[in-house]
Structure 1
Amino acid sequence: MYAILDIETTGGKFNEEGITEIAIYKYDGHEVVDQFISLINPEREIQPFVVNLTGINSNMLRNAPKFYEVAKRIVEITEDCILVAHNAQFDYRILCTEFRRLGFEYERRSLCTVELAKDLIPGQASYSLGKLVRSLGIPVTDRHRASGDALATVKLFKLLLDKDTNKTIIKNAIKTSPKQKLEPKHLDIIAEMPSITGVYYIHQEDGEIIYIGKSNNIKKRINQHFTNNNTKAKRIQAKVASVTYEATGSELVALLKESEAIKRLKPRFNRALRRSIFNYALYQFVDENGYINLKIDKADGRKKAITTFSNMQSGKSFITRAVEEFQLCQKLAGIYKTKTSCFHYDIKSCHGACIQEESPEDYNKRVLALIDKYSYANKNMVIVDRGREVDERSAILIENGVFKGIGFFNLNYQINNLEVLESIITPMENNRDAQHIIQSYMRRNKRLKIVVIDK
């Protein structure tokens, strides 16, 4: 659990500042579950430059509560939480100073989003909160007021959790959380899981991830893990101390995140050397008469595939549909072996490429149309799919035919700016498994939104 906060102060000499406003959002890694926002009477003068910056003046604070009146609420809302702030060293110091004046030693672990951003989003022109969130397309209101800045930090932290592909933040949080160190019952874990699409991570007591999975209903899938009787399930049940999850909204994003995380983190209960999830591929070659032929064959990493399939049957089903859709020749598509005309020619559905009645130029145009539709080679595009919330969408970036990564954007923002898009994208490896996942998903989801990006 995280307490994401922002504090506005009077300014002045070091350790003599007073708090004028505080905002705390209690965040469980997915949504805000509690909040506390209040002006505070600092019982001291506010520096003029601070008044100009924040708009908070002494008249506004005359009837505001003093710090000792809200101290208990601050202790309660941050209990068992990691404090998160933009420039956390400052906010944490100010809080500790105020509590020390009351004779109370306030201690919490803290995370700084400036440091996290420098590590996870390198190369930014500025890491000040305002400039950073604008460059990432994060909406911000009431700049230099505690609530507005704290809420922007919540959205920034959510993005940083997405970009933390090694799950260092979450693993450390579980390791040091006193609640997670207790042995929770499986029913308690299941009760906390949502029935949503996403990726889940099963942790042992020290926070280490021992299993990663993906599901369109995380609660149902975790329940299956805890009720199955096979050897693997029983070993997971004996080791599990906690389960965390990432909502994705999109099944495609969940599939890509699962594949990447397993390869990167190598959990002990996922297969150590996970077999490629595709075994067959569609290839093209030009015959002696100049016609482009298609062939489904076993996947070979040395050859460039148009698209890939999990098994031969799904490949045959695809090419059969493609022959109908693009009016291709069964013989040249590799699904009708004959030395003469194909069956479709006999029933007037083939234009005669099989016996060279149709010119290679005319026939090849339709084959190239198929290749263009189902292969993203050399394309700059974004696959837009569901987001985690109603006003959000996911973005899968393909640049020059190479899968670059995934991200999320608010519907208030356009995504045809490649520079902004690249800043919100979590980079991912362009391996053959990722390519297969994307191509297979595009085949199954005919109404998927594709946005072409101008370089």
Structure 2
Amino acid sequence: MKDVKFAITDIETTGGGIKGNKITEICIMVIQNGEVIDEYTSLVNPSQEIPLYIESLTGINDTMVANAPAFSEIASEIEAITQDCIFVAHNVNFDYNIIKAEFEEIGLSFKRKRLCTVRLTKKLIPGLFSYSLGNICTSINIPHLDRHRAKGDTEATVELFKRCLSLDPEFEVIAELLNQRTAASYLPPNFKKSDFEKLPNSTGVYFFRDKEGIPLYIGKAKNIKSRIKSHFQEKSNRKYKLMQATYSIDYELTGSEILALLRESELILKHYPKFNKAQKKISRPYTLTSYHNQKGIEQFALHKNKIAPVSWMRFYTRDEAINFLELLCKKFDLCPKYCGLQAGVKHCDHYKITSCSGACKNEIEPEEYNERVAKAVDYVSQFDASCLLVEKGRHQKEKSFIYLNKGKYSGYGFIDQSQEFNEAEDFRNYLVPQKNSSYTERILSSYLNTKKDLVRIPIDGSQAEDQHSNLDNWMIA
């Protein structure tokens, strides 16, 4: 790599992350064999106003760039000076992606190998308090004049790069950084590759944390490592700012996706991370009720805003509610009309359910029909019973459980497959209590109403139809 050329680059911009951020000044200095062999510096007209806070930071204002060339006018010079060079910058992804976006905007491509002096310095000069350009220069006595101007920052980066070259004469560290083919090439500047490699390919929740360890963002994933890699590769302004603020990432394994969803919701409500979008306010749910109509028939109905004397279940989408009513109708041979699936019709004529009990045509006595409804109500009642919902554990020899106390989310836990219970209540020794919320209710409502292979363990002596009904079954499920 002795004769390789490095294009040390710095840009000033209008601010605002990656997307929509326009260049106001650019400086490129080409180094070969430790010496500067070429240089290009220019103000750039961004064709938009420069925000006051950016003007205060850089000193570049609208008047200064009014007669400067547009990027399209200098693109060929940037292309030429960086040709056959390795593109180098302090926090390289920022400068590179904005320059690349400027080229794309005028219909051209820009592709160079990249090298980040933040990562390079961390490898060659470990243990510094901060790796911002200004703080590194102060720490190792590099002159840094005219800060936050493209030429001043480029000159400082050139001196820093020369210092790194002296510490890596065989280009071993540089070659390692250039040859990375993993997500490490997209890592946040303050995040270690070794920490990324330790991330699991398992289900759970993960935390992006700042320098003090405070959660910046909390998410859930079936595959934590893969999902975090996708965060690194996103180019939105919001994700860019998150990456710049991230110093560490950790995780919590859950085994099952439903438990990951619940934990994500709980942890967001607990920490209110800066980069999580506010959880949407849950709208009033659909409530399943029943009442005696004028014929003496017990009839199901859905209400969203009314208070009913009898309330059986709640649904957070109409589709979930309709699907459940269709299930009741088929399972207990009920009338679609009297299940709230049809209105304004004399007799059942449902598009999906072809069978009918005949109650709407007076072919069955109300008493007999109501006995079927009573069985349906018993079935519905299990959803408000105390039980354990059993799911996968964090490894093959483990099961996870979600505890519903009278139908309300009350916690979770993990139990080894070989663990034996003498009493059903023994599960409490493994329980991690949690608070119920409208968000966890919605998550569990969707889960209970859509999961076909649900394993439900009654813990109050009740028996749920078509479900495992004791702890022994759980341990071998």
Q: TM-score, normalised by structure 1?
A: 0.53
Q: Per the alignment, in what secondary structure is the counterpart of residue 229 of structure 2? A: helix
Distance change >3 Å, CA 257–CA 368, structure 1 → 2: farther
| Greater relative contact order structure (CA < 8 Å, 6+ sep) | 1
In 1, are the aligned partners of 2:290 and 2:311 still within 8 Å (CA)? no
Contact 2:325 2:339 in 1 (8 A): yes
Deviation of 1:368 (Å): 4.3
- Match of residue 155 from structure 2: none
CA offset digits 1:176-225 (Å, max 9, x no partner): xxxxx99215x555433222111111111110011111111112221222
Q: Distance in 1 between matches of 2:244 and 2:199?
A: 19
- Aligned residue number for residue 183 of structure 1: 190
1:383 is displaced (CA, Å) by 1.2
Correspondence for 1:398 among 379, 404, 407: 404
1:207 aligns with 2:213: yes
The 5 Å alignment of 1:47-66 reads none
SS in 2 for 1:199: strand
1:438 correspondence with 2:440: no
Cα distance in 1 for partners of 2:305, 2:208 equals: 32
Are 1:283 and 2:288 matched, yes or no? yes
Q: In structure 2, which of residues 197, 201, 204 is the aligned counterpart of residue 195 of structure 1?
A: 201
Between the aligned partners of 2:333 and 2:442, the Cα distance in structure 1 is: 25
Counterpart in the other structure of 2:459? 453
Q: Match of 1:343, SS?
A: coil
Contact map agreement 2:289 2:303 (CA 8 A) in 1: no
Q: Which moved more, 1:330-339 or 1:310-319?
A: 310-319
The percentage of counterpart residues that share the same residue type is 31
CA deviation string 1:304-325 (max 9, x = no partner): 7644445333433443344333
State the SS of the aligned residue for 1:332: helix
Distance 1:365 1:224 in 2: 54
Question: What residue identity is the alignment partner of 1:269?
Answer: F
**Contact 1:299–1:308 (CA under 8 A) maintained in structure 2:** no
What does residue 238 of structure 2 align with? 232
C-alpha separation between the residues in 1 aligned to 2:248 and 2:217? 11
Aligned to 2:277: 271
What amino acid sits opposite 2:200 in the alignment?
P
Structure 2 residue identity aligned to 1:225:
H
Matched, 1:217 2:226: no
How many residue pairs match? The answer is 273
CA–CA distance in 1 between the matches of 2:190 and 2:310?
Answer: 50
Contact 2:288 2:314 in 1 (8 A): no
Q: Using the alignment, how far apart are the partners of 2:251 and 2:219 within structure 1?
A: 9
Matched-pair contact (CA < 8 Å) for 1:215–1:221 = yes
Question: Equivalent residue for 2:124?
Answer: none
User: Alignment partner for residue 434 of structure 2, among 428, 437, 443?
Assistant: 428
Going from structure 1 to structure 2, the CA distance change for 1:310 and 1:389 (only over 3 Å counts) comes to same
Residue of structure 2 in register with 1:330 after alignment: 336
Distance in 2, Cα, partners of 1:436 & 1:300: 19
**1:340 maps onto 2:351 in alignment:** no
Larger Rg: 2
Distance (whole Å) between structure 2 residues aligned to residue 202 and residue 369 of structure 1: 49
1:315 maps to 2:321: yes
User: Match of 1:233, SS?
Assistant: helix
Q: SS where residue 451 of structure 1 aligns?
A: strand
Aligned amino acid, residue 293 of structure 1: Q
Contact 2:256 2:392 in 1 (8 A): yes
**Which residue matches 1:245?**
251
In structure 2, how many angstroms separate the alpha carbons of the residues matched to 1:348 and 1:242? 58
- Cα distance, 1:404 vs structure 2: 1.9
Task: Give CA-to-partner distance per residue, 1:357-386, whole Å, 9 cap, x none.
Answer: 333443344444444445545523211111
AA at the equivalent of 1:219: K
Deviations 1:220-255 (A, max 9, x none): 221222222223322221211111111111112111
CA contact (8 A) 2:320 2:449 kept: no
Q: Is the 8 A contact 2:337 2:343 kept in 1?
A: yes
CA distance in 2, matches of 1:232, 1:341: 55
Deviation at 1:432, TM superposition (A): 3.0
Alignment correspondent of 1:21: none
- Following superposition, the deviation at residue 393 of structure 1 comes to 0.6
Q: CA deviation at 1:264?
A: 1.6
Per the normalisation by structure 2, the TM-score is 0.51
Q: Secondary structure at the match of 2:227?
A: helix
- Residue of structure 1 in register with 2:19 after alignment: none
- CA change 1:365–1:205 in 2 (3 A) is farther
Pair 1:311–1:443, CA change in 2 (3 A): closer
Runs of 5+ in structure 2 lacking a partner?
1-187, 462-477
Q: Indicate whether 1:258 and 2:285 are aligned.
A: no
Q: What letter matches 2:343 in structure 1?
A: K
For residue 339 of structure 2, give the secondary structure of its aligned residue in structure 1: coil
- How far apart, in 1, do the equivalents of 2:204 and 2:310 lie? 31
- C-alpha displacement of 1:412: 1.7
Kindly tell me: are residues 351 and 405 of structure 1, through their superposed partners in 2, closer, same or farther at Cα, counting changes over 3 Å? same
Amino acid corresponding to residue 184 of structure 1 in structure 2: F
Q: For 2:299, which of 270, 293, 308 is the aligned residue?
A: 293
